[in-house]
Amino acid sequence: KIGGNLVPIRKWPWQVFLRIIIPTFNSTTMERGMVENGCGGTVISDQWILTAAHCIQPVSRILVYSGIVHRNRSEAEKSEKKIIYFVETAFSHPHYENETNDIALLKLEEPLSFDETVSPICLPHKDQSIPSDGQAVIVGYGTSNIREDSGNATLEDGKLRDTIVPLIKYNTCKTRIETALKYTGVDATMHICAGSMGHGAALGDSGGPMLMKAEDGRWFQIGITSFGGVSKWQTLQDESPGIYTNVRQHCDWIKQTTSGEASCEEEIVK
Respond yes or no: is residue 79 known to be catalytic: no
Which one of the listed residues 45, 66, 102, 240 is annotated catalytic?
Answer: 102
Task: Check if CATH label 2.40.10.10 holds for domain 135-248.
Answer: yes
Same fold, 13-120+253-257 and 135-248: yes
DSSP assignment letter at 234: S
Respond yes or no: is residue 95 known to be catalytic: no
Respond yes or no: is residue 70 known to be catalytic: no
Residue 164, pLDDT > 80, answer yes
**pLDDT tens figures, 103-140:** 999 999 999 999 999 999 999 999 998 888 899 999 99
- What element of type H or E holds 103? none
Q: Quick one: pLDDT at residue 256? A: 98
Residue 86, pLDDT > 50, answer yes
Q: Where are the alpha helices (H) located in 182-241, listed in sequence order?
A: none
Tell me the C-alpha distance between 165 and 196, whole Å. 7
Residue 240, pLDDT > 80, answer no
Q: Where are the domains of the chain?
A: 13-120+253-257, 135-248
Between the CA of residue 150 and those of 147, 153, 195, 205, 265, what are the distances in Å? 6, 6, 22, 21, 45
Query: 207 with 197: CB under 8 angstroms?
Result: no
Homologous superfamily (CATH) of 13-120+253-257 is Trypsin-like serine proteases (2.40.10.10)
Tell me the C-alpha distance between 18 and 156, whole Å. 16
Which one of the listed residues 60, 92, 144, 206 is annotated catalytic?
Answer: 206
Within a 10 A sphere around the Cβ of 150, how many other Cβ atoms?
8
Mean pLDDT of the chain: 85
% of the chain surpassing 70 pLDDT: 83
Average pLDDT (170-197) is 85
SS3 label, residue 23: strand
Nearest to 44 by CA among 253, 267, 269: 253
- pLDDT band for 16, please (50, 70, 90 cuts): very high
- Highest-confidence segment of 176-190, 212-226, 227-241: 212-226
